[in-house]
Amino acid sequence: MTVHERAGTPARPEDLVDVPALLAAYRDVHPDPKVDVQRVAFGTSGHRGSARTATFNDDHIAATSQAIVEYRAAQGIDGPLFLGRDSHALSEPALRTAAEVFTANDVTLVVDSRDGLTPTPALSHAILVANAGPGGRAGGAGSGRLADGVVVTPSHNPPADGGFKYNPPDGGPAGTEATTWIADRANELLEAGLAGVRRSSTIDPGRYDFLGEYVAQLDQVLDMDAIRDAGVRIGADPLGGASVDYWGVIAERYGLDLTVVNPDVDPAFGFMTLDWDGKIRMDCSSPYAMASLIARMEPGSADASSADAPRGAPYRIATGNDADADRHGIVTADGGLMNPNHYLAVAIGYLYAHRPGWPAVAGIGKTAVSSSMIDRVAADLGRPLVEVPVGFKWFVPGLRSGEIGFGGEESAGASFLRRDGSPWTTDKDGLLLALLASEITATTGRTPSEHYRDLTARFGEPAYARTDVACSREEKAALGKLDADAVTATELAGDPITAKLTRAPGNDAPIGGLKVVTDSGWFAARPSGTEDVYKVYAESFRGPEHLARIQDQARDVVSAALAG
């Protein structure tokens, strides 16, 4: 990975998207459904694209919304549909398009009562609360009405992008069966010139206080009293996203010593520092995108020089969220920005020791490309490890049933159960994980960074990296369907191979690639959904040099398997 020369530096005017031109393109540019990249395609987090490249335009959202209407009807979903958006420029017009289609099709539409931004976890929470009546139905016993939702967001993607994600009645990201059906029908509608899409210019939706309901119940999942009583100083940076109004209300309601360090909302995200590739990206797990918040933690920063700041770093814990607040970034005064894998391991170790109300059999959910430090923590806790393919949707059934207490991804997304063992959200919750860092600090007197150093002292210190390897589209397709028997290697970086996986051990679902494991390291190779490369995730518990050997041999193992 080549890091851009200006990575981590403030954006300049020439880096900013032309918002009026982008909005005009959303309205005026029409995709050609005969061009593959201009069709509706759902990845792990919905359909994403940009109006400038004819991949996220009014036609896409109208067709997708109509397809969701028809999917709901086919599934018998006739309750309210919650609709929210983040702060990307394309999110507001896309929400309007969707609302016109849903209204014309007599869907009971519900939007934010404050006309504000809606974090993905707040929408997931609202769906679960609505469906938690007697019989698990919105409206209570006998109504038969199930709620679902749509959040308009491309998550951490650049300002020119838009995204559209459907959450069914289970509250989590829609599964492959649903998204395939919706995408196929949306593309049929595009091919028909939107014949069959109904729209109404008159919109009169119902209202729901996403912020108030979410914040009011936070003490059911976190020990907010402990955070307040310990006086943990918190700096929260919404990165211009949907959590911007939530942090201040959380601080006021629970009496926290919390400062919103950047309350600005700008659809061009001109206050951001550039990410590793020189693009503006609200990735709260990236040290380049988080450079401003990291700098605020320095003893000599402007925050530290304020009259009421303690000596040294101004905050004990600082946090960031991406644009829809489903991801978290944790910065500690003693350790800087935490690697997401490191924080997941700490969070798991803490929660399973401090949640006596959780089911005794509740397992630990991780994705196949997350750190094996989690495996070691799970074994130490005596809890089942549930390893699934990439995508938070795989954790949804377990979080709903209590079979999983915590589900987390290496890309800084996670959620966990309420203190009584019932589900909180079934989508990633960056606000929740950010506040958990303060609970850990409050109840133990030590930061998550300090706890991670304890873990490495006990279990070893892993070296982890992700790289890209160029390949053809044919090779990508073959890798996604590879059989484990195609791997003939018996050793990896000098160690015997103990497992060759193309299906996840936690649920036997295809991982869409290959994972090779030894006692001291592993690699996983998965085809990219957007570029002609495959991604190699690798980890070693024997240091960076051993990691480099794993990465080198991973390419050879994959090449041999594809050739065979």
**CATH number for 536:** 3.30.310.50
Q: Rounded to the nearest 5°, which phi and psi values hold at 345? A: -60, -40
Residues 198, 278 within the same domain: no
Give the span between the Cα atoms of 25 and 170, in whole angstroms: 35
Q: Out of 439, 458, 477, pick the residue that ends a domain.
A: 458
Quick check: 547 and 539 in contact, CB under 8 A? Answer: yes
Q: Could you tell me which of 70, 168, 187 has the C-alpha nearest to residue 123? A: 168
Q: Is 119 among the domain residues? A: yes
List the structure tokens of 76: 């018998």
Q: Is 11 among the domain residues? A: no
Q: Could you tell me which of 63, 104, 69 has the C-alpha nearest to residue 191? A: 63
313-339 pLDDT, tens digit per residue, is: 799 999 999 999 999 999 999 999 999
Give the span between the Cα atoms of 276 and 376, in whole angstroms: 31
Q: Going residue by residue through the chain, which has 564 residues, state the pLDDT in tens, using 9 for 90 and above.
A: 689 999 999 999 999 999 999 999 999 999 999 999 999 999 877 899 999 999 999 999 999 999 999 999 999 999 999 999 999 999 999 999 999 999 999 999 999 999 999 999 999 999 999 998 644 444 333 346 899 999 999 999 999 999 999 999 999 999 999 999 999 999 999 999 999 999 999 999 999 999 999 999 999 999 999 999 999 999 999 999 999 999 999 999 999 999 999 999 999 999 999 999 999 999 999 999 999 999 999 876 767 554 444 446 799 999 999 999 999 999 999 999 999 999 999 999 999 999 999 999 999 999 999 999 999 999 999 999 999 999 999 999 999 999 999 999 999 999 999 999 999 999 999 999 999 999 999 999 999 999 999 999 999 999 999 999 999 989 999 999 999 999 999 999 999 999 999 999 999 999 999 999 999 999 999 998 767 889 999 999 999 999 999 999 999 999 999 987
What per-residue confidence (pLDDT) applies to 300?
Answer: 67
Residues 66, 179 within the same domain: yes
Residues 246, 356 within the same domain: yes
Residues 222, 80 within the same domain: no
Residues 222, 203 within the same domain: no
The CATH number covering residue 320 comes to 3.40.120.10
Q: Is 15 among the domain residues? A: no
β partners of residue 258: 234
Quick check: 261 and 318 in contact, CB under 8 A? Answer: yes
Question: With 0-12 CB in 10 A as exposed, 13-18 as middle and 19+ as buried, what is 460?
Answer: middle
- pTM score: 0.95
Q: Is 21 among the domain residues? A: no
Give the span between the Cα atoms of 355 and 374, in whole angstroms: 18
Residues 481, 416 within the same domain: no
Residues 523, 549 within the same domain: yes
Q: Is 24 among the domain residues? A: no
Q: Is 409 among the domain residues? A: yes
Q: Could you tell me which of 282, 296, 303 has the C-alpha nearest to residue 239? A: 282
Residues 450, 406 within the same domain: yes
Q: Out of 212, 232, 247, pick the residue that ends a domain.
A: 212
What per-residue confidence (pLDDT) applies to 141?
Answer: 33
- Residue 438 belongs to domain spanning: 217-458
Residues 408, 369 within the same domain: yes
Residue labelled with tokens 């990236």: 286
* Residues 159-198: b if buried by 16+ CB within 10 A, e if exposed: bbbbbbbbbbbbbbbbeeebbebbbebbbbbbeeebeebb
Residues 228, 82 within the same domain: no
List the structure tokens of 276: 């590793």
Q: How many domains does the chain have?
A: 3
336-389 pLDDT, tens digit per residue, is: 999 999 999 999 999 999 999 999 999 999 999 999 999 999 999 999 999 999
C-alpha distance from residue 209 to each of 111, 118, 122, 478 (Å): 8, 10, 10, 47
What per-residue confidence (pLDDT) applies to 364?
Answer: 98
Residues 501, 517 within the same domain: yes
Q: Is 26 among the domain residues? A: no
Q: Out of 148, 181, 212, pick the residue that ends a domain.
A: 212
Q: Is 300 among the domain residues? A: yes
Q: Is 286 a catalytic residue?
A: no
Residues 293, 205 within the same domain: no
- Residue of 45, 87, 155, 438 with catalytic role: 155
Quick check: 4 and 12 in contact, CB under 8 A? Answer: no
